Amino acid sequence: MWDTILRRQLLMIALTLASIVVLALVAAAVMVIRTMGTGGHSLPVTAEWISDLGTDHYKPMLRLLDSADIEFLRGQPGYTRDMESKLRAQRCQVFRGYLRSLTSDFQRVCMALKILMVQSEQDRPDLAGVLMHQQVLFATGLLGIHFRLFLYRWGICSVDVTGLVRIFDGMRVELCNMVPSSIPSCA
């Protein structure tokens, strides 16, 4: 009898945890879809804007959540778990700002590519397919990053954003290839 009660309680705990994870994933998916769907930003498709695009802006983001800083903090006299928690929270907040900027830049590059494809005298169905594929990869990657960022906040895992930056850079290079060669620093 106690065995049956214990099994039911364990099953309830497992179902509760699974429900929480599913709800968190659904919330993250809704957030990513809303973020990817907002197109109300201006589109400054100028030679200067395109030449200013680059991955250099996102280099600090690549090491912002590096575990070396947490390990260093843990080795300091007077370290407390509260200090680590505050550092993780601050880093997550800054990281989310970078993610918003990266998402915005990616959306603008994709929109610029779409505009150029529509205005082009030459059909580019290959580019349209690549663009759609990259947008799906970016959205799913962003969803994964948000989920891992949630777990990082509680010290459960790490976050690697190099894949998203690589997707952005690929679309940026494609945009540079489609624009007239009057843009000097597009490489």
* pLDDT over 70 at 111, yes or no: yes
Q: What mean pLDDT is reported for the chain?
A: 83
pLDDT band at 176 (very low <50, low <70, confident <90, very high): confident
Single-letter amino acid code for the residue at 50: I
| Lowest-confidence segment of 18-27, 28-37, 55-64, 163-172 by average pLDDT | 28-37
29 pLDDT tier (thresholds 50, 70, 90): low
Report pLDDT for 66.
87
Instruction: Give the integer Cα–Cα distance in Å for 180 and 91.
Output: 39
Alpha carbon distance 70, 156 (integer Å)? 13
CB 24 within 8 A of CB 147: yes
pTM exceeding 0.75 = no
* pLDDT bucket at 31, cuts 50 / 70 / 90: low
Q: Does residue 107 have a pLDDT over 60?
A: yes
Report the pLDDT averaged over residues 134-160. 93
Measure CA of the first residue to CA of the last residue in the chain; give whole Å.
71
| Under 8 Å between Cβ of 70 and 86 | no
Segment 52-70 mean pLDDT: 87
Dist CA 145 CA 152 (whole Å): 10
- Rounded mean pLDDT, 3-15: 83
Tokens standing for residue 160: 């690697």
Sequence-ordered list of residues with C-beta below 8 angstroms from that of 90, at least 6 positions apart, any chain? none
**55-59, 141-145, 164-168: which range is least confident on average?**
55-59
